[in-house]
Amino acid sequence: MDTREAARRNLLPRKMLRRLARGAVVALGCLLLGSGACAQGSPSNDEGYAKKIREFTTEPFFITELVDHLPASSIVPSPEKVLGHIIGAPGYLTYSRDIYHYYDELAKATPRVKVFHVGKTEEGREFYLVAVSDESNIAQLDRLREITAKLADPRKITDAEAQQLIAGGKPIYWASGSIHSPETGSPEMLMELAYRLAVEDSPIIANIRRNLVFLITPVLEVDGHDRVVDTWNYRKANPDKMQPGLIYWGHYVAHDNNRDSLGMALKLSQAQMKNFLDWHPQVLHDLHESIPYLYISTGTGPYNAWLDPIVISEWQKMAYNEIEGLTDRGVVGVWTHGFYDGWAPNYMFYVANGHNSIGRFYETFGNSDPETRERELPPSATNRDWFRPNPPLPRVKWSLRNNINMQESGLILGLDYTATHGREFLQNFYLKSKRSVAKATTEGPA
């Protein structure tokens, strides 16, 4: 082990401290609420699932205490019970129909999950949208959507009315999986995260569930995703035959499907826009997988002048909350800034940025297929810089489970931050909407 790696490993006792602290909080809750409340509200962990998480994670600095376990439930089915394997297991990718079946099973089992059918792809596959929150929030989804819709159009409400709406609202955080079909981790990860949010009663998960609505697009490029799974299954069944390439990532479209938020030529773009206008979420979080190990978007500039300066600040605050939270937990290779400019308005997450919400994205390291393999990185990916002070390692054994751990841990931190500062996010959403209306009269055309 080199000194650099040893230094990183010295951070790991912090994880142990967090586990002890988590146990202390639960124990204190038992004393305050009574043992009966704890017995009902705090499910035990699925030790077999947790053992496999650890087995499929290649290094301790690619996991956190947020995702190193999974609660057990006798009522709500875990991914393993429905799919037959844990999320991130080597050798398995999941077809969209099976992903949707899992969310349907969750929704049948718990009032904390609700499924919406929101359209069809060019090839006739379904788009799903899934809401996860506590029972009271799910029961009043129509009211919460009404609140964000009113905040989105300040021409129709007064400032006083806006404050009343904000006081009664909840921020809506929308995560969208796999717009690029070879990026296969997020459709798997989001199933596990949905289960965790529905079942776990740790303080951080309870805060998320109580104080926001989490929306999930399980997989956005549905047609292409299923082709990737077809390709993987053929390779697995025919290791000695010539392997087919993935010609199209979608229906006669490749990487450009993430450049269609202005043209709206694709069904996935139309579905995203419709979903946004139906919900007016405060955050749209695209999940990508291209660079090591976890890039959290802020942009390098030049920033688009028609974006409110508030959203530029929100990108920074959210990114650095997650970077610091993961780095503090001993995770390596989490960084920002040096990848994307922050100007081009044709990316899919500009569905949010163009409507006074926060559009952001992750780039998590991925293998595309669910095999574990050695990966070597060029110096440009491992250089230490002000925006990457804890860079990726030059060589690493990378697994699908590593990818799951990184994405899910970061998302949990982002969800917790949004839930904790929910009033601020709703206030900023209203303020950005109000300023966008005024901009036309105070500044005129570009």
CATH of the domain at 188: 3.40.630.10
The reported pTM is 0.92
**End residue of a domain, out of 42, 59, 75:** 42
Kindly state whether residues 254 and 353 are assigned to the same domain: yes
Residue 117, amino acid: H
Kindly state whether residues 384 and 310 are assigned to the same domain: yes
Kindly state whether residues 145 and 198 are assigned to the same domain: yes
- What lies within 8 Å, CB to CB, of 113 at 6+ separation is 103, 106, 107, 130, 131, 132, 138, 194, 198
Q: Structurally, how many domains does the chain consist of?
A: 2
pLDDT attached to residue 419: 99
SS3 183: coil
- Residue 254's closest CA among 219, 296, 223? 223
SS3 440: helix
**Rounded distance, CA 362 to CA 407, Å?**
8
Kindly state whether residues 309 and 331 are assigned to the same domain: yes
Cβ neighbour number for residue 160 with a 10 Å cutoff: 8
**Rounded distance, CA 119 to CA 113, Å?**
19
Kindly state whether residues 3 and 104 are assigned to the same domain: no
Kindly state whether residues 27 and 117 are assigned to the same domain: no
Q: What is the dihedral of CA 163, 165, 166, 170, to 10 degrees?
A: 170
DSSP H or E run through 363: strand 358-364
With tokens 């010295």, the residue in question is: 10
Kindly state whether residues 38 and 56 are assigned to the same domain: no
- What lies within 8 Å, CB to CB, of 378 at 6+ separation is none
Give me the tens of pLDDT residue by residue for the chain, a chain 446 residues long: 443 443 444 444 455 455 545 555 444 444 443 433 343 345 799 999 999 999 999 999 999 999 999 999 999 999 999 999 999 999 999 999 999 999 999 999 999 999 999 999 999 999 999 999 999 999 999 999 999 999 999 999 999 999 999 999 999 999 999 999 999 999 999 999 999 999 999 999 999 999 999 999 999 999 999 999 999 999 999 999 998 887 788 999 988 899 999 999 999 999 999 999 999 999 999 999 999 999 999 999 999 988 999 999 999 999 999 999 999 999 999 999 999 899 999 999 999 999 999 999 999 999 999 999 999 999 999 999 999 999 999 999 999 999 999 999 999 999 999 999 999 999 999 999 999 999 888 886 65
C-alpha distance from residue 275 to each of 117, 120, 352, 373 (Å): 11, 13, 11, 37
Contact of 150 with 156, CB cutoff 8 Å: yes
Kindly state whether residues 194 and 61 are assigned to the same domain: yes
- What lies within 8 Å, CB to CB, of 131 at 6+ separation is 113, 114, 116, 138, 141, 213, 214, 215, 216
**Rounded distance, CA 251 to CA 246, Å?**
12
- How many CA atoms, within 13 angstroms, populate the side-chain half-sphere of residue 385? 14
- Residue 22's closest CA among 64, 60, 56? 64
Kindly state whether residues 20 and 59 are assigned to the same domain: no
**Rounded distance, CA 173 to CA 360, Å?**
11
Cβ neighbour number for residue 163 with a 10 Å cutoff: 15
For residue 364 the two structure tokens come to: 């998590």
Contact of 362 with 283, CB cutoff 8 Å: no
Kindly state whether residues 94 and 209 are assigned to the same domain: yes
For residue 435 the two structure tokens come to: 């300023």
State which residues form the domain around 5: 1-42
Kindly state whether residues 167 and 260 are assigned to the same domain: yes
Kindly state whether residues 4 and 128 are assigned to the same domain: no
Contact of 129 with 118, CB cutoff 8 Å: yes
pLDDT attached to residue 1: 41
